[in-house]
Amino acid sequence: MSLQFSVTRNQNPLPVAKRDEVLAAPVFGQYRTDHQVVCVWEKDKGWVSAEVIPYGPIQMDPAAAVLHYGQEIFEGIKAYRHDDGSIWTFRPYENAKRLQLSARRMALPEVPEELFVESLRQLIAVDGDWVPEPVNEKTLYIRPFEIAAEDFLGVRAAHRAEYRVIASPVGPYFTGGLKPVSIWIALDSARAGKHGTGEAKTGGNYAASLQAQGEGYEQGCSQVMFLDAETGTYIEELGGMNLFFVYKDGHVATPSLDGTILRGITRKSVIQLIQDRGIEIQERKITLDEMRAGINSGDIVEVFACGTAAVITPVGQFKSRVETIGSSDAEPGALTASLREELTGIQYGRVEDRHNWMLRLA
Ligand SMILES: Cc1ncc(COP(=O)(O)O)c(C=O)c1O
């Protein structure tokens, strides 16, 4: 890799005692580490600089393109401390590739895979002490993102972009442990349409999900499920997770990737772990009607959602403005619990990493 990182240390890091307090009980996204990565891209020059600098605000012209036309993409990936103190991450080249896919869709420059992985190493090299001890599902959540940073009000792909990386120590995403969560079915809003941006991890998709998420919160639900925008028939995904259904006959099904849902890396890994067990996994279209009938008849025996932030979480019930399906008292399913155990075991270095998914950062 030709770009060399320069490092400017934060002269006012959070005092160690305060950092230890944060790491004792981190709240998702509330605190950030002492540094950030900034890489700049310019049209005709490519990636021109790579720096680690103290964490702090971005100085930006009010005409910066991202503020007007939403050219923004991001990733979510975690750093895990293992019992021997070493620091690892999970399948970073998958995140690098997905950031590139998002970049192409949103007309932003692609961050080279090696630059992506090096940016994680560089941040951990200065902020490694922020990776919590491996207890109570604590990790350092890393947020790489890219923005259009050109000052120009015309509508076209920006000629200057910034790729940044920040990080935040986190505990469990859902605080109820393995308690099944309730999901709100969005009947009046869609997240992504055909040929739209659903497959890209771009801020606008999340902005589009917040209204329904707000309705869901009011109904005691912690995530929203979106249906396909065209017919409102097929199950797509949750606001921030992919869905799996376990059937009585033993097979598992998950909505296929048709361009409107995010190519979840946890989803891909869970499919592999299911295949490893010799269980049939179907990636196919699943209708809301099939889900309702399956849960009501007992044909569907477990539902779980998965993603980097919340790993694997059992789903107990689905609610919408017209119905309730399933029960909030449901027990977590056996397959859900054991897949979660296996995946977190691999991530924390306690279960053999037979697919070489883990990469050591420090
Ligand atoms: C909309 C959406 N779907 C699915 C996922 C799960 O993806 P991953 O497993 O790569 O975290 C996420 C989280 O990143 C997401 O935001």
Name the residue of 73, 266, 268 whose CB sits within 8 Å of the most ligand 1 atoms, as the mutation to test its pocket. 266
Per-residue pLDDT of 257-315, as tens digits, reads 989 999 999 999 999 999 999 999 999 999 999 999 999 999 999 999 999 998 999 99
- What tens digit of pLDDT does each residue of 53-71 get? 999 999 999 999 999 999 9
pLDDT higher than threshold 70 for residue 155: yes
101, 205, 236, 241: residue to mutate for ligand 1 pocket, most atoms within 8 A of CB: 241
What is residue 96's predicted lDDT score, i.e. its pLDDT? 98
Between 30-34, 330-334, 356-360, the lowest mean confidence (pLDDT) is in 330-334
Residue 92 binned pLDDT confidence (cut-offs 50, 70, 90): very high
pTM: 0.97
Question: What type of residue is 304?
Answer: F
Q: Which atom of ligand 1 is nearest to the CA of 268?
A: 9
In this structure, the strands spanning 46-54 and 87-90 are unpaired
Average pLDDT over residues 182-195: 94
pLDDT at 28: 86
Supply the residue whose CA is at minimum distance from atom 12 of ligand 1.
240
Ligand 1: nearest atom to the Cα of 77? 11
Average predicted confidence (pLDDT) for the chain: 96
Atom of ligand 1 at shortest range from CA of 76 = 14
Residue located nearest, by CA, to atom 13 of ligand 1: 240
Which amino acid does the sequence have at 152?
Answer: F
Contact present, 2 and 125 (Cβ < 8 Å)? no
Q: Give the CATH number of domain 181-347.
A: 3.20.10.10
- Look at residue 355 in the predicted model and tell me its pLDDT: 98
Ligand 1 centre distance from Cα of residue 275 (Å): 21
Is the per-residue pLDDT at 176 higher than 80? no
Question: Tens digits of per-residue pLDDT, 211-261?
Answer: 999 999 999 999 999 999 999 999 999 999 999 999 999 999 999 998 999
**What percent of the chain stands above pLDDT 70?**
100
Per-residue 3-state assignment (H helix, E strand, C coil) for the chain = CCCCCEECCCCCCCCHHHHHHHHHCCCCCCCCCCEEEEEEEECCCEEEEEEEEECCCCCCCCCEHHHHHCCEEECCEEEEECCCCCEEEECHHHHHHHHHHHHHHCCCCCCCHHHHHHHHHHHHHHHHHHCCCCCCCCEEEEEEEEEECCECCCCCCCCEEEEEEEEEEECCCCCCCCCCEEEEECCCCCCCCCCCCCCCCEHHHHHHHHHHHHHHHHCCCCEEEEECCCCCCEEEEECCCEEEEEECCCCEEEECCCCCCCCCHHHHHHHHHHHHCCCCEEEECCEHHHHHHHHHHCCEEEEEEEECCCEEEEEEEEECCCCEEECCCCCCCHHHHHHHHHHHHHHCCCCCCCCCCEEECC
C-alpha of residue 142 to centroid of ligand 1, in Å: 14
Q: Which residues form ligand 1's pocket by a CB distance below 6 Å?
A: 76, 237, 240-242, 262, 264-267, 307-308
For residue 308, give the ligand 1 atom closest to its CA: 11
Q: What is the pLDDT of residue 231?
A: 95
324-326 and 72-74 beta bridge pairing: unpaired
Three-class SS state of 344: helix
pLDDT at 140 over 90: yes
Strand, coil or helix: 26: coil
How far, in Å, is the centroid of ligand 1 from the Cα of 143? 13
Contacts of 359 (CB under 8 A, 6+ apart): 88, 89, 90, 91, 92, 117
pLDDT top residue among 264 and 173: 264
Q: Which of the 8 DSSP states describes residue 44?
A: T
Nearest-CA residue for atom 15 of ligand 1: 240
pLDDT band for position 172 (50/70/90)? confident
Domain boundaries of the chain, sorted by first residue: 6-170, 181-347
Residue 2 has pLDDT above 90, yes or no: no
Task: Measure 152 CA to ligand 1 centroid, in angstroms.
Answer: 32
What pLDDT is recorded for position 1?
55
| Minimum CA distance residue for ligand 1 atom 5 | 241
According to the CATH classification, is domain 6-170 in 1.10.357.140?
Answer: no
Which pLDDT belongs to residue 174? 80
